[in-house]
Amino acid sequence: MTKKTVCLLTALLAGAFAVGAAAYSPKGASAESSYSEIVMEAESGRVLYENDSDKVMPMASTTKVLTALIIVEDCDLSDVFEIPAEACGIEGSSIYLVAGEKLKISDLLYGLMLRSGNDCAEALAIYHSKSVAAFAEVMNERAKKLGAMHSHFVNPHGLPAENHYTTARDLCTIACAAMRNPSFKEIVSTQKVVVQDGGNGNRVLVNKNKMLYQFDGANGVKTGYTKIAGRCLVSGAERGGMQLVSVVLNCHPMYERSAEILEQCFAKYSLVSLFEPKEMTLPTEVKGKSCRVEAKEGFSYPLAEGELSKVQILFDLPEQVKLPVKCGDALGEMQILLENQLLFSQKIVSIENVKKSFIDILRDIANN
């Protein structure tokens, strides 16, 4: 195998870039502005900014991001669920569910994410796992699977409880995964919806998240507040195809601070297409015979000015492909690196069957 290194040239890419490199500290970032905060690009998970983001803290109703993600991933949103008595009369924010009424799971999700309904959270937990305690176990398993290793959940809504905590980094990791889910993204970006129930009249649900009305490109995700957690906000915004997610925990001016750090990250980073799906032709061990191969996946990444020249694309391919080859066989690999850090890799596979002919076999015998 021979390795070919291709340095990506600025001329290959279009787009404007601003200043910055690694995660930076925007103007005004301090413990006084927010105890804990972070901004990530949702697809790659790259941290664009952070401030004390690994501090373990309560997170109030931003808990519901994980609750909603589990439901949209695991459940049929068209299912109809009869509300149990134990999901009614939950303290705090509510859509005032009534025992025995029947709602679609999708409508309960709107109640959960637009109005922060704690009753919706308990109803969805019971629907999914038969009990709140069992659902909390699922939450903890799912959080760890997503890479949120410093969080623990004991309920689906975020009301104060011992051992219910997260970090800004963990919560943003969860929210990035959620914003990659089209159903979740549609729900949290909705400003207003009418929920039709089974007998108690329609509910008009208006999203509490002021970012949707005030910030250019805002498309989610969840507010939160308790006296213990303070004001918490998970925000999502998309511009130029780049989806950012921010988290601020225990930050009184949560909307203003979220807007500030998101705005500065949009100014300093752009989403760049570093690789498009590509077909190539490789020589084989048989003279005059070739094999078509493909790198199937494209890859984009948020970059700041000055980083483009530090990107490398590496191809590891054979000088000659040994036959026979079947369609789908992996024949090599490509990698994308930024300052020697691996960002992306994929196998390069054959897209055709290639074998030696009878004459090729006779030639091999004669040559040997």
Task: Please identify every residue annotated as catalytic.
Answer: 61, 64, 116
Cis peptide before 221 (omega within 30 of 0): yes
- Token representation of residue 146: 């997503």
Give just the sign of the alpha carbon dihedral 65, 66, 69, 71.
Answer: negative
Give the whole-angstrom CA distance, residue 232 versus residue 249: 4
The C-alpha angle 230, 235, 237, rounded to 5 degrees, equals: 165
Give the whole-angstrom CA distance, residue 93 versus residue 223: 12
Burial class of residue 61, CB neighbours in 10 A (0-12, 13-18, 19+)? buried
3-state helix, strand, coil in the chain (%, to 5): 30, 30, 40
The CA distances from residue 310 to 89, 149, 274, 299, in Å, are 57, 31, 12, 16
- Token representation of residue 350: 């054959």
Tell which residue, 195, 177, 196, has the closest CA to residue 114.
Answer: 195
- Bridge partners of residue 315, in order along the sequence: 4, 334
Q: Are strands 203-206 and 230-239 parallel, antiparallel or unpaired?
A: unpaired
- Token representation of residue 147: 């890479």
Q: What is the CA radius of gyration of the chain?
A: 25
Burial 103-141 (b: 16+ CB within 10 A, else e): bbbbbbbbbbbbbbbbbbbbbbbbbbbeebeebbebbbe
Tell which residue, 217, 213, 196, 193, has the closest CA to residue 266.
Answer: 217
Q: How many residues does the chain have?
A: 368
